[in-house]
Amino acid sequence: MASVKVQCVSKWFERRDGESLHVLQNIDLEAPEKTITAIVGASGCGKSTLLNIVAGLIEPDRGCLFLNGVKASEFKDWRSMTYMFQEDRLLPWRTAAQNVAFGLEAAGVGRAERKERVAETLELVGLSQFADVFPHELSGGMRSRVALARSLVTRPTLLLMDEPFSKLDPTIREQMHAEVLRIAELMSMTILFVTHDVEEAVVLASRVVVLNPRPGRVRETRTIDLPYPRDRTSAEVQQEARSLRESL
């Protein structure tokens, strides 16, 4: 089980000229257990900062973060959460399998179990044959799958994603969406992700949080009540996307 609750969070950044920049203002946000929540907003609305706060990489200046109902400062189980970046960030000196194993090495999982879990996870993302291939030999889509596998190998209950597929071709991106939905269901994960692509938000998420920029604040939270799998080109998805775009 995993849930995220952000309560009245504000954040300022110190700019180089000494002035402080108001990045987030009184953010309230909830990602209930086993749901997919999207944070959408134009660039500069602080959505990545918000995700980094949830990941515990940045401290909020004001407000609270609750993970699984526990206050972040008392939260212990940080390894039940993984983070998928916009770039795949595969280590070039490691093979696909070794890259996936990276997540387990931090957790101190033994060699034998590591091997088993890596093989299992590579199979999950359909890359078993590519275990011993170095990143530079892989296509963009495959690299993205390796990065996904690295985020899944620790069997997280909460997956955070920062525009993870924005650099992929549209067809590959759709494949990855299907993968994520399949795996989220299979592993009963909670997912919180950031995107500027409203269609991506509508296809994946059951809840969408819209942020407005300068300072970043929640404009609205809406529920997407369409049955999965959702076709990007369908009229319902397009209509939801259009109305979302208008509120950006």
Partner 1 sequence: MPVPAATPLVEKRPTDGPKTSHTQGSREKRLRLLSMRVLLLLLLLVIWQVASLGTAPFVLPSPGRVFDAWWSLVVTAGFWRDFGITFWRVLMGFALAAAIGVPLGVLLGANEKLGEFFDPVLTVVNTVSSSIWAIFALIWFGLSDWTTIFVVFMTAMPLILTNVWQGTRTVNADFVELAQTFRMSRLQVMLKIYLPTILPPFFAGARLAFGFGARVSLVAETLGASSGIGYRLRQAADLVQTDQVFAWTLTLVALMIAIESLVLKPLESRLFAWKKKAGGQ
Return the number of the residue (28 or 120) whose C-beta is nearest partner 1.
120
Tell me the sheet residues that pair with 160.
Answer: 83, 192
Considering only residues 8, 21, 42, 57, which one is a binding residue for partner 1 as defined by CB under 8 A?
A: 57
**Nearest distance, CB of residue 137 and partner 1, angstroms:** 5
- Interface with partner 1, residue 124, by CB under 8 A: yes
Burial of 6 (0-12, 13-18, 19+ CB in 10 A): buried
Q: Which stretch binds partner 1 (CB under 8 A): 15-23, 65-73, 90-98, 197-205?
A: 90-98
**Nearest distance, CB of residue 159 and partner 1, angstroms:** 11
**Nearest distance, CB of residue 30 and partner 1, angstroms:** 22
- Interface with partner 1, residue 179, by CB under 8 A: yes
Q: Which stretch binds partner 1 (CB under 8 A): 15-23, 179-187, 197-205, 228-236?
A: 179-187
- Spatial distance between the Cα atoms of 168 and 144, rounded to a whole number of angstroms: 8
Return the number of the residue (64 or 107) whose C-beta is nearest partner 1.
107
Cβ neighbours of residue 101 closer than 8 Å, sequence gap 6 or more: 114, 115, 118, 153
- Lookup: tokens for 186: 């299979």
Ranges within 94-123 binding partner 1 (CB under 8 A): 94-95, 102-103, 105-107, 120, 123
Contact 219, 243 (CB under 8 A): no
Q: Which stretch binds partner 1 (CB under 8 A): 8-16, 124-132, 216-224, 235-243?
A: 124-132
CA neighbor of 66 nearest in space, from 109, 74, 40: 74
Residue that has been written with the tokens 């399949």 in this structure? 182
Ranges within 188-247 binding partner 1 (CB under 8 A): none
SS3 content of the chain, % helix, strand, coil (to 5): 40, 25, 35
Beta-carbon count within 10 A of 245 CB: 12
Contacts with partner 1 by CB under 8 A lie at 55, 57, 78-79, 82-83, 85, 87, 89, 91-95, 102-103, 105-107, 120, 123-127, 129-130, 133-134, 136-139, 141-142, 154, 175, 178-179, 182, 186
